[in-house]
Amino acid sequence: MVKQLFPEARCQNWPPTAVQPMWKTVWETKSSCLREGVFRTTCDPRLIEALPPESHNARVAFLTPKSVSPEKMACVIHLAGTGDHSFERRLRLGGPLLKDNIATMVLESPYYGQRRPSMQHGSKLQCVSDLLLLGKATIDEARSLLYWLQNEVGYGKMGICGLSMGGVHAAMVGSLHPTPIATLPFLAPHSAVVPFCDGLYRHATAWDALRKDAATLAQDVTSLTEDTAQKSGITIEQVRERLRSVLSLTDVTRFPVPKNPQAVIFVGATDDGYIPKHSIMELQKAWPGSEVRWVTGGHVSSFFLHNDAFRKAIVDALDRL
């Protein structure tokens, strides 16, 4: 399953599956326009079967200035962080960039917003495989959108950014893109291992359920009671190492260096309880030529307090193309 989800980066196909979103206009002024679009997810058919039906159709919001032709503009795709179920927060980040002739496209992630499965409560993914499927689908859809924006619409410069989990996905997309694009991972770890195995999310992970799952596999049976799983001899630490092994495939430092690492700007927070500084520095070390910037505050507060710093990073990265 892991090999199907994330094949070796050098084997990633290009061009990606084509998209033709169906658009509707949400609002329009003399200077700008906001549209929302829907398209069929561009995942491999095997992965589509694994996704919940609610996630089969992707949704995007597209905010553009009206007075400039695409070839004289830039467009940045914004990917969702954990818990970001709507377009609003990312449109608020991208809106002021219209004055710099930068359009904003916001992608709704699988398992989030209108793509959330009916059995899922909020942002709480039920299975480890859901996290991997969410990531793979987001990456595939973002790559298809980049191709559409660049080759069908004709934007002059392209970028990809994301916050937290979305920053990890943005780094992967930027790494795999065959031409230079601005890549902006905000408040993002180098791997999902960091928050789920070492960081705060380890306190919100159902370790007993994962131990039961591991014991079931070890004994080659279809199900076990929780009491039997506890007596199986499998420790929580072993379960944590198993999860660490699976999530290690999200390690961005194993991905290729982007075509123009000077157009990569990482932004970290000085008091981030989720993402330690060393994790962000590992990204810069793996991609020589990239830049790290710091904002004050925690993982959530820094984003609300320093939107201008994130916008400046976007403008600066695009200027380096």
**Which one has a higher pLDDT value, 4 or 15?**
15
pLDDT tens-digit map of 223-235: 556 666 566 788 9
pLDDT of residue 218: 75
Q: What's the confidence (pLDDT) of residue 7?
A: 55
**Distance, CA of 109 to CA of 75 (rounded, Å):** 19
Total Cβ atoms within 10 A of residue 251: 17
pLDDT (mean) for 149-156: 95
Is the domain 1-190+251-319 a CATH 3.40.50.720 member? no
User: Mean per-residue pLDDT for 153-170?
Assistant: 96
80-89 tens-digit pLDDT: 988 787 899 9
| Alpha-carbon torsion angle 125, 193, 210, 165, nearest 10 | 0
Q: Could you tell me which residue, 236 or 184, shows the higher pLDDT?
A: 184
Q: Average of pLDDT values for 261-288?
A: 96
3-state secondary structure of 175: helix
- Does 263 score more than 60 pLDDT? yes
Interior angle at CA 142, CA 14 and CA 96, nearest 5: 135
Reply yes or no on whether the pLDDT at 3 is more than 90: no
Q: In the chain, what are the helix, strand and coil shares in percent, each to the nearest 5? A: 45, 20, 35
